[in-house]
Structure 1
Amino acid sequence: MNTIEIGNRIKAAREEKGLTQEELGIRLGLNKSTIQRYEAGKILRIKLPVLESIAIELNVNPEYLALKTDDTSPRHSSHIIDSNATILPQDNVHIIPIYESVSAGFGAYADDYVVGYMPLYIVSEEEAKNTMCIVVSGDSMYPKIENGDKIQVLRQDWAEDGQVVVALIDGENGVVKKIKYSDDKITLVSFNPEYQPREFVGAERDRIRILGIVKTVIKSL
């Protein structure tokens, strides 16, 4: 991977779009120094999901940035756009990190726990800042959420009755469940009937900490 040439192309595309390194970093969820290292070719291997995210933000062909095409035009694309497609405002498309698990996403934000990035259309800037995607493990929420699906999560410490949430039990066990409130009780419900609901009554309710609500389930073909 010729990271120096890749860096030159990133820099040229960034400057053409009129963004500073800091502004591009904010859009990608990266700091300015990381962008500087990319453009200087000091990172010897750039993950392809990262390159794709940069290309989307700079509105260039990902293959151009990755040096996978002989075409030297950054705007060239082999993708055909459906004439009936709705074009969404670019300002509302945000690059959201994908974490490998619930615990990784909410417990630490190091790059090592990020397995990729995904462009999502989110109107609210504040909501975009508090949004992440997480890869789900297990089948307790089958069939609506399957093993390997990605969930779009809005970080917040409360939820309404019946919402699907990401929660911590006893500060350690991260789970994705439907939450139910009744009288002096919180119940965490799985969609899969093979898993029994878990009830937390009275003071036991303090064992539950809501980390966020699930907004969307993203499935792979």
Structure 2
Amino acid sequence: MVEKQFNEIFSKNLVHFLKINQMTQAELAERLGVSTATTSNWCKGLKSPRMDKVDKMCKIFGCLRSDLMEDKGFLRGKKQSKGFLVNVLGRVAAGIPIEAITDIVDQEEISEDLAKTGEFFGLRIQGNSMEPDIHNGDTVIVKKQDDAETNEIVIALINGNDGVCKRLKKYAESIALVSINPDYEPMYFNQEEIDNTPVRIIGKVVELRRKL
């Protein structure tokens, strides 16, 4: 593919994703750390970005490289998916914002209706503590939030370790993070331990994805 043709395809795809994300060229430029003239040239098809900038745009838009770099027919009347892509993380850790984590192992599509209700990410489950409901290697779709109702399955950070997937139990003066697998003992925390350990909920599991 000649450079001019690639630039034209990239520009059409970029304008498409700016439009559906309701983002201006200036806003994209600020998030990428480039000038507005640079994003303008991309949108006009005059130039194309380096691959590191393409990867940053994929994270911003929740899309794949191919969605930006290949002719997907977005502007030719082809039926478009109403889904939204979210990054699936291999791990989450304390002190690192979700959007800054680079351990991205996959992407999953969520519905437009679900996407409208908040911010989401995927997490690849490790271990068997939530079997038989959630298996090692499964992906859970997580809605970002700092609290949940009792009996809901959450992702929590404990003492700065990687996020754990557990069922939340709330009591008058304490909480418990409970594994579904009976081989694992529940983890109980009083309010002082919640504050000082610390224990922090970062999201609620809303969907389970299993690749057969």
TM-score range, shorter chain: 0.5 to 0.7
- Give structure 2 stretches of 5+ with no counterpart: none
Identify the residue that residue 42 of structure 1 maps to in structure 2. Answer: 50
The answer to which of 32-41 and 175-184 deviates more is 32-41
For the pair 1:158 / 2:147, whether they are aligned, the reply is yes
Give the aligned partner of residue 68 of structure 1: none
Identical pairs, percent: 23
Aligned to 1:115: 105
Aligned to 2:122: 133
Match of 2:23 in 1: 23
Distance 1:109 1:218 in 2: 21
Equivalent pairs counted in the alignment come to: 189
How far apart are the structure 2 equivalents of 1:21 and 1:168? 30
Q: 1:162 to 1:2 in 2, by over 3 A?
A: farther
Where 1:172 maps in the other structure, the secondary structure is coil
* Greater Cα shift, 154-163 or 36-45: 36-45
Q: Partners in 2 of 1:172 and 1:18 — Cα distance? A: 36
Alignment RMSD (CA, Å): 4.2
Alpha-carbon contact 1:4-1:41 (below 8 Å) kept = no
Tell me how far 1:187 sits from its aligned partner.
Answer: 1.2
Provide the C-alpha distance between the structure 2 equivalents of 1:171 and 1:177, rounded to a whole number of angstroms: 16
Which deviates more from structure 2 when the two are superposed, residues 148-157 or residues 182-191? 182-191
- Paired with 2:125 and 2:134, the residues of 1 have a C-alpha distance of 8
TM-superposed CA distance for 1:4, in Å, is: 7.4
Q: Structure 1 stretches of 5 or more lacking a match?
A: 56-63, 66-72, 77-86
Deviations 1:103-134 (A, max 9, x none): 28954533633233332104266534x21111
- Tell me the TM-score normalised to structure 2 length: 0.67
Matches within 5 A, 1:1-221: 6-15=6-15, 19=19, 23=23, 31=31, 36=39, 40-43=48-51, 50-52=64-66, 54=67, 65=70, 74-75=72-73, 90=82, 93-103=83-93, 107=97, 109-110=99-100, 112-123=102-113, 127-128=117-118, 130-206=119-195, 207-221=198-212
